[in-house]
C-alpha cells in the first residue's frame, strides 16, 4: 500500500487536525494532502493545509458545521468546501478522478470516488501526490518521498498526459524545480519540451502568477537555461534574444545569456534577499534590444533607444500578466533608466533619483532611495555580465552609491513636495490660475534647486519666482 510513518504528528497544525477530527467523528475518512505533506517531509511544514475525504461535499459541510466550524461553499462542482478554523482556511475536497481536459486547463467533468489513491493518481507531480494522517501515516503510491530524497520533479504517470490535461503544469514544474532546487526527471523534461507550445492555450494571468513564483525563488536564471523552451513559450518576447549576437566589444554573450547572468548578478549583490521588482527588472532590462539593433560603419552593433523601447515592452508584458501596478511601475522605471548615463557633476545620482522617483510612483522619499539602491545593484549586475574588460564599472558604482547615501543623510530636495513653497505660492506670485501650469512651474523651481541656482528656502524661492 506504500503506507509509512514519516512525519512527526507534532508538526500538524491544530486547525488542520480539527478538520480531520470533525470529519472522522462523522464516520468519514480524511487525509492531509498536497503541499503540506511535501514540505513536512522536508522538515518545513507549510501553513496552508488541504484535506481530502471520502465524504461528498454536502456531508463534509454537515460534519464540519456540527463541530462548530465555519464552512464556505467555494468549489462544490469539484467537491470542495473551505473550512475556517482559528481564522485559517482549510480546503476540504472529496476524492475524485478527472474527466477530459479539452481546454488544457480544467476537467470537463469529475467523478467522485472512495479511494484516496485514485485521487492521488490525478495529481501533477509525485512530490504533490502523497497523503498523510497522524495515526495512519503516509500514503505514497508514486514514491514522492523517494523523489524528494533524489531531488527530482517527476510527473505522476505519463508526463505527456499530465501536461495535455493542464498546460499550466509546465510552468508549475519549473516553479517547483526552482523553489525546491530540484532537477526535472528525464522523461518529464522531454514532455516539458514537447508540450511547451501548448502554453499558448493558458490564460495570461495564470502564466503571470506562475512566473511570479519562479521570480520569487531567486532561480529564474536557472529556469532560463535549463527550461528555455518553457520560458520562451511563456514570454514570447524572449525568443528574439536567443542567439542574438550583440556585435559589440562590450559584450561577450548573446542577449539571452547576458540577461540570465544579470539575474544571477542581482542575487549576488543583494545576498539573495532580492525584491521582486528588481528580479523582474533584471529579467526584462534588455527586452527591447533586438528591436533597436543597428550596425555602425565600423561593423559594431548599437542599441540606441533600447531602454525606452524596453520600458514600453515591459509595461505591456506586465499588464498582460496582470502584475499589480504598484509592482509594475517601479519595474518599468528601472528598465527605462537602467542605462541612463551619470555625468560627472557635484551630485551625479540626484537627477536620476528624481526621475526614478517620478516614474516609479513610490510614495515616500525612503522608498525612492531604496529603489535607487536597487538601480545600482541592477547596473552592477549588468556590468558584471559584460565582456571581461568592461566589468570594472561594477566597482565604480560604489562611489555613486556613497553620494546617494550623502544625499539621503543631508535631506537634499529632489521632490516638488519637499520644496519650501507650494502651488498656492506659485498662483499668488505668478498670478496664474490653478491647473497644469502650476505643476510645471514647481518642476522648474525644483530643477533650479537641484542645480544649485537657488536654495530651498521660502524667501529665496519666492524671490526666484518673482524674477
Q: Are residues 455 and 344 in the same domain?
A: no
pLDDT at 345 over 90: no
Question: Tens digits of per-residue pLDDT, 128-161?
Answer: 999 999 999 999 999 999 999 999 999 999 999 9
pLDDT value, residue 108:
67
Cα dihedral 164/168/172/175 (nearest 10):
130
Q: Could you tell me if 421 and 465 are in contact, meaning their C-beta atoms sit under 8 angstroms apart?
A: yes
Q: Are residues 212 and 246 in the same domain?
A: no
pLDDT value, residue 106:
67
Q: Are residues 268 and 352 in the same domain?
A: yes
Q: Are residues 302 and 383 in the same domain?
A: yes
pLDDT value, residue 3:
42
Residue 156 lies in a domain: no
DSSP assignment of 10-46 equals GGS-HHHHHHHHHHHHTT--EEEETHHHHHHHTT---
Provide the grid cell at 450: 537641484
Give the pTM. 0.91
Residue 267 to residue 22: CA distance in whole angstroms: 46
Q: Are residues 342 and 258 in the same domain?
A: yes
What are the residues whose beta carbons fall under 8 Å from the beta carbon of 273, sequence distance 6 or more?
A: none
Q: Are residues 401 and 326 in the same domain?
A: yes
Q: Which of 179, 208, 234 is the last residue of a domain?
A: 234
pLDDT at 303 over 60: yes
Q: Which of 150, 176, 200 is the last residue of a domain?
A: 150
The rounded Cα 159 to chain-centroid distance in angstroms is 26
SS3 content of the chain, % helix, strand, coil (to 5): 55, 10, 35
Using only C-alpha atoms, the chain has a radius of gyration, in whole angstroms, of 28
What interhelical angle do 349-360 and 436-450 show, nearest 10? 150
Residue 457 to residue 362: CA distance in whole angstroms: 25
Q: How many CB atoms lie within 10 A of CB 144?
A: 26
Residue 79 to residue 254: CA distance in whole angstroms: 50
Tell me which of 51-65, 131-145, 409-423 is least confident.
409-423
Q: Are residues 21 and 59 in the same domain?
A: yes
Q: Are residues 224 and 329 in the same domain?
A: no
Residue 155 lies in a domain: no
Pairing mode, strands 183-184 and 152-153: parallel
Cα dihedral 117/122/126/127 (nearest 10):
-90
CATH of residue 49's domain is: 3.30.460.10
Q: Are residues 174 and 266 in the same domain?
A: no
CB burial string 220-247: b at 16+ within 10 A, e below = bbbbbebbbbbbbbbbebbebbeebebe
DSSP assignment of 300-360 equals -EE-TTHHHHHHHHHHHHHHHTT--HHHHHHHHHHHHHTT----SSSSTHHHHHHHHHHHH
pLDDT value, residue 284:
98
Q: Are residues 208 and 297 in the same domain?
A: no
What are the residues whose beta carbons fall under 8 Å from the beta carbon of 185, sequence distance 6 or more?
A: 147, 152, 153, 154, 155
Domain count, the chain: 4
Q: Could you tell me if 19 and 35 are in contact, meaning their C-beta atoms sit under 8 angstroms apart?
A: no
Domain range for 438 is 417-466
Residue 35 lies in a domain: yes
Q: How confident is the model at residue 393 (pLDDT cuts 50, 70, 90)?
A: confident
Q: Are residues 283 and 400 in the same domain?
A: yes
CATH of residue 448's domain is: 1.10.246.80
Q: Could you tell me if 362 and 330 are in contact, meaning their C-beta atoms sit under 8 angstroms apart?
A: yes
> If you ran DSSP here, which 8-state letter would residue 390 be given?
G
Mean pLDDT value across residues 185-213: 97
Residue 248 lies in a domain: yes
Residue 387 lies in a domain: yes
Bridge partners (DSSP) listed for residue 96: 112
Residue 424 lies in a domain: yes
pLDDT at 370 over 60: yes
Residue 97 lies in a domain: yes
Q: Which of 128, 150, 172 is the last residue of a domain?
A: 150
Q: Are residues 422 and 407 in the same domain?
A: no
> What H or E segment, with its residue span, contains residue 386?
none
pLDDT value, residue 344:
57
Question: Tens digits of per-residue pLDDT, 234-255?
Answer: 999 999 999 999 999 999 999 9
Question: Tens digits of per-residue pLDDT, 42-56?
Answer: 988 778 899 999 999
Provide the grid cell at 407: 544625499
Question: Tens digits of per-residue pLDDT, 72-99?
Answer: 999 998 899 999 999 999 999 999 987 6
Q: How confident is the model at residue 451 (pLDDT cuts 50, 70, 90)?
A: confident
Q: How many CB atoms lie within 10 A of CB 369?
A: 19
> If you ran DSSP here, which 8-state letter would residue 435 be given?
S
Residue 37 lies in a domain: yes
Sign of the C-alpha dihedral computed for residues 178, 179, 182 and 187 taken in this order? negative
pLDDT at 1 over 50: no
Tell me which of 103-117, 118-132, 160-174 is least confident.
103-117
Burial class for 273, CB neighbours closer than 10 Å (0-12, 13-18, 19+) = exposed
What interhelical angle do 14-25 and 57-66 show, nearest 10? 110
Amino acid at each position: 500500500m506504500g503506507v509509512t510513518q514519516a512525519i512527526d504528528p507534532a508538526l500538524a497544525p491544530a486547525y488542520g487536525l480539527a478538520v480531520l477530527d470533525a470529519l472522522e467523528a462523522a464516520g468519514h475518512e480524511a487525509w492531509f494532502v498536497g503541499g503540506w505533506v511535501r514540505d513536512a517531509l522536508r522538515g518545513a511544514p507549510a501553513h496552508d493545509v488541504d484535506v481530502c475525504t471520502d465524504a461528498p461535499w454536502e456531508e463534509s459541510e454537515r460534519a464540519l458545521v456540527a463541530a462548530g466550524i465555519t464552512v464556505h461553499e467555494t468549489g462544490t462542482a469539484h467537491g470542495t468546501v473551505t473550512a475556517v478554523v482559528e481564522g485559517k482556511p482549510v480546503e476540504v475536497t472529496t476524492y475524485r478522478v478527472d474527466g477530459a481536459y479539452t481546454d488544457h486547463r480544467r476537467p470537463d467533468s469529475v467523478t467522485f470516488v472512495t479511494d484516496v489513491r485514485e485521487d492521488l493518481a490525478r495529481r501533477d507531480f509525485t512530490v504533490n501526490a502523497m497523503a498523510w494522517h497522524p495515526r495512519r501515516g503516509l500514503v505514497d503510491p508514486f514514491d514522492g518521498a523517494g523523489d524528494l530524497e533524489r531531488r527530482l520533479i517527476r510527473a505522476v504517470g505519463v508526463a505527456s498526459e499530465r501536461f495535455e490535461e493542464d498546460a499550466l503544469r509546465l510552468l508549475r514544474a519549473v516553479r517547483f524545480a526552482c523553489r525546491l532546487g530540484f532537477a526535472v526527471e528525464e522523461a518529464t523534461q522531454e514532455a516539458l519540451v514537447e508540450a511547451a507550445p501548448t502554453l499558448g492555450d493558458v490564460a495570461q494571468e495564470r502564466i503571470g502568477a506562475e512566473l511570479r513564483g519562479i521570480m520569487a525563488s531567486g532561480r529564474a536564471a536557472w529556469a532560463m537555461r535549463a527550461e528555455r523552451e518553457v520560458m520562451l513559450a511563456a514570454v514570447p518576447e524572449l525568443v528574439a534574444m536567443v542567439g542574438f549576437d550583440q556585435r559589440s566589444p562590450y559584450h561577450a554573450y548573446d542577449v539571452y545569456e547576458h540577461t540570465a547572468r544579470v539575474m544571477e548578478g542581482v542575487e549576488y549583490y543583494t545576498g539573495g534577499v532580492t525584491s521582486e521588482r528588481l528580479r523582474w527588472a533584471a529579467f526584462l532590462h534588455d527586452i527591447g534590444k533586438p528591436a533597436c539593433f543597428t550596425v555602425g560603419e565600423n561593423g559594431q552593433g548599437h542599441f540606441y533607444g533600447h531602454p525606452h523601447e524596453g520600458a514600453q515592452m515591459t509595461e505591456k508584458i506586465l499588464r498582460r500578466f496582470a502584475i499589480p501596478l504598484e509592482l509594475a511601475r517601479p519595474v518599468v522605471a528601472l528598465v527605462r533608466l537602467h542605462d541612463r548615463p551619470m555625468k560627472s557633476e557635484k551630485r551625479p545620482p540626484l537627477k536620476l533619483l528624481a526621475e526614478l522617483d517620478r516614474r516609479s510612483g513610490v510614495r515616500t522619499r525612503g522608498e525612492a532611495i531604496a529603489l535607487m539602491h536597487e538601480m545600482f545593484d541592477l547596473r552592477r549586475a549588468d556590468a558584471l555580465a559584460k565582456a571581461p574588460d568592461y566589468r570594472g564599472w561594477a566597482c565604480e558604482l560604489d562611489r555613486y552609491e556613497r553620494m546617494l547615501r550623502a544625499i539621503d543623510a543631508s535631506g537634499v530636495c529632489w521632490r516638488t513636495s519637499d520644496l519650501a513653497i507650494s502651488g498656492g505660492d506659485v498662483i499668488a506670485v505668478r498670478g496664474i490660475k490653478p491647473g497644469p501650469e502650476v505643476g510645471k512651474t514647481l518642476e522648474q523651481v525644483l530643477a533650479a534647486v537641484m542645480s544649485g541656482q537657488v536654495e530651498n528656502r521660502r524667501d529665496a524661492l519666492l524671490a526666484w519666482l518673482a524674477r
